[in-house]
Amino acid sequence: MEEDFERAVEDGLRLSKRLVLPGGAAPPRPHAGMDRYGAPDAAAASSLLPVAPMAYAVVTDPAAVDSPDVPSYQPHVYGRLSPPALIPLQMREVELRVDCAAGCATAEVTLVARWWLHCLTRSRDCDCRLVVPMGEEGSILGAEVTVGKKSYNTHVVDVDGNSPVKIVKTESGGILKSQFFQLTIPQVVGGEDIFATIRWSQKLLYDNGQFSVDIPFRFPHYVNPLPKLFTKKEKIQLTVNSGVSKEVLLQGTSHPLKEKTRQGEKLFFLHEAVVENWSIKDFTFSYSVYSGDVSGGVLVQRSTLRDYDDRDIFSIFLLPGNNQKRKIFRKAVVFIVDTSGSMQGKPIENVKNAISTAVSELEEGDYFNIVTFNDELHSFSSCLEKVNGKTTENAINWMNLNFVAQGGTDIMHPLTEALALLSNSDGALPQIFLVTDGSVEDERNICRTVKTQLTNKGSISPRISTFGLGSYCNHYFLRMLASIGKGHYDAAFDT
């Protein structure tokens, strides 16, 4: 799907060479790495997936491609395009609003933009596709689009068919890739403006005492209209809700933000400027909350009249603080790694590197073991090994020899083995990390069995964290298993 999308954009960039812009000017000159048609060469092809919210004209008839204001009188082009070409539309306005809530570990993003269909004669129309790349764990919240006298907006619908809203074809909107949302607007006339407001949420990252957010905001040069005709105003509004009455320290930002006000736990920032070109870097912002010890709070949000779920929600959060003398629990960790045939190539190599790093970062006094599974089960050791330089080196050497992708997927057997290994963890905090790219048939039975075993172990039962690889993995099962094991779930959809 990605390759088809990139090929369609490449065709669209070639078609846009037919345009003569107002004043007789040529289209913007391409960057280095593009061929003479203005399309990326083979080495630069990966850049055609959007790295900022974009709009594209879906062109099936190349003869319709022309400037809406100044006819170019180009030679007529015969035939139809199948699949259609995607011509990136020029953007006239953009505003980014970001609301960071540390207590929910979430950033809510609103993008307001105006594109115009600059590549189609006014006597013709075509569909236009909006594509929004979202950051870490992005989830679309809604979109409203206005074109002329017509308006469109998204709804949450009941897929079982009980919704009063008619469900249109899936190609009208949905997920292009795990982090890309797309929406198709039908029959936009050449020269018309497209006004869009798009909202999504993404994860507010926390690492080494810093909160950070990273929002795709890198616009390619060909979406810039001519500077003499359009004044480009770039506006970014940022709200930070720390959730605690502690000092907030700003650590870094990609764009020049000016602090406007502080109201209790909320900080407001603004960037507003007339620019020659739209942003060529992602919007990033990081901050820390100063505290000498553990701090936290509870956030409560009431349901609203239009909520799909009418229950109130709450979030409890804790910040570790800056006390470096705090005693750390000793850990007993078992890594369970899927080495079935589907893990062959990059996935197995990346997992091996990740597990090697994790083992190397364990502290002396911790315990660990590594279990691989496919149709068979293999263990680094018959018992938990104490972390030291020698056992760490032996474990990495063992992984280099035994991480071989072959066979099927049997998850219950290695889970039982890991629980047995951790049955006597010598006072250390027991943890299991499961990494897999597969799906299994007996998910419900596995969850029931694990839940029973953990309950029988009482308060010192192991925490189970899961990590899924690729889009064919049963991610719902891994979420449930992590929930039962009071651990964490995460995934890498792009292996």
- For 313-365, what is each residue's pLDDT tens digit? 888 888 877 777 777 889 999 999 999 888 888 889 999 999 999 999 999 88
- First-to-last alpha carbon distance for the chain, in angstroms, is 15
Q: What are phi and psi of 354, to 5 degrees?
A: -65, -45
Q: Does position 472 have pLDDT exceeding 90, yes or no?
A: no
Task: State whether 279 and 416 are in the same domain.
Answer: no
Amino acid (one-letter) located at 186: P
Q: Which residue has the tokens 């553990």?
A: 294
Residue 113 contacts residue 93 (beta carbons within 8 Å): yes
Residue 320 lies in a domain: no
Task: State whether 246 and 354 are in the same domain.
Answer: no
Q: What are phi and psi of 445, to 5 degrees?
A: -65, -40
Q: Does position 370 have pLDDT exceeding 80, yes or no?
A: yes
pLDDT grade for 450, boundaries at 50, 70 and 90:
very high
Q: What is the largest CA-CA distance in the chain?
A: 82
Task: State whether 360 and 218 are in the same domain.
Answer: no
Task: State whether 128 and 212 are in the same domain.
Answer: yes
Q: Which of residues 289, 318, 351 is at a domain's end? A: 289
Task: State whether 275 and 383 are in the same domain.
Answer: no
Q: What CATH number has the domain bearing residue 381?
A: 3.40.50.410
Residue 326 contacts residue 338 (beta carbons within 8 Å): no
Task: State whether 256 and 337 are in the same domain.
Answer: no
Residue 421 token pair? 């290994």
Task: State whether 246 and 148 are in the same domain.
Answer: yes
Cβ-count burial 397-422 (b if 16+ within 10 Å, e if not): ebbeeebebeeebbbeebbebbbebb
* Mean pLDDT of all residues in 374-383: 90
CB atoms under 10 Å from CB of 365, counted, come to 12
Q: What is the pLDDT of residue 491?
A: 87
- Write out the residue range of the structural domain in which residue 227 sits: 90-163+174-289
Q: What CATH number has the domain bearing residue 220?
A: 2.60.40
Residue 79 lies in a domain: no
Q: What are phi and psi of 410, to 5 degrees?
A: -130, 105
Q: Please give the Cα distance from 144 to 151 (Å, whole number).
A: 7
CB atoms under 10 Å from CB of 15, counted, come to 23
Q: Please give the Cα distance from 100 to 263 (Å, whole number).
A: 15
Closest residue by Cα to residue 117 from 107, 109, 128: 128
Residue 51 lies in a domain: no
**Beta pairing class for 90-101 and 180-189:** unpaired
Q: Does position 24 have pLDDT exceeding 60, yes or no?
A: no
Q: Please give the Cα distance from 317 to 312 (Å, whole number).
A: 17
Task: State whether 369 and 458 are in the same domain.
Answer: yes
Task: State whether 351 and 472 are in the same domain.
Answer: yes
Q: What is the pLDDT of residue 157?
A: 66
Task: State whether 156 and 262 are in the same domain.
Answer: yes
pLDDT grade for 410, boundaries at 50, 70 and 90:
confident
Amino acid (one-letter) located at 194: I
Q: What is the pLDDT of residue 188?
A: 94
* Mean pLDDT of all residues in 360-373: 92
Residue 34 lies in a domain: no
Residue 126 lies in a domain: yes
- Give me the sign of the Cα torsion angle 300, 304, 307, 309: positive
Residue 298 lies in a domain: no
DSSP letter, residue 461 = P
Q: Which of residues 259, 289, 319 is at a domain's end? A: 289
Q: Please give the Cα distance from 131 to 5 (Å, whole number).
A: 11
* Helix (H) / strand (E) containing 43: none
Q: Which residue has the tokens 């990966």?
A: 46
Lowest mean pLDDT among 33-47, 305-319, 335-349: 33-47
Residue 391 lies in a domain: yes
Rg of the chain, C-alpha, whole Å: 27
**Beta pairing class for 232-241 and 90-101:** parallel
Residue 116 lies in a domain: yes
Burial of 384 (0-12, 13-18, 19+ CB in 10 A): buried
Task: State whether 348 and 216 are in the same domain.
Answer: no
Q: What is the pLDDT of residue 155?
A: 77
Q: What is the pLDDT of residue 392?
A: 93
Domain count, the chain: 2
Q: Which of residues 289, 311, 339 is at a domain's end? A: 289
Task: State whether 373 and 277 are in the same domain.
Answer: no
Q: Please give the Cα distance from 371 to 334 (Å, whole number).
A: 7
pLDDT grade for 37, boundaries at 50, 70 and 90:
very low
Q: Does position 34 have pLDDT exceeding 90, yes or no?
A: no
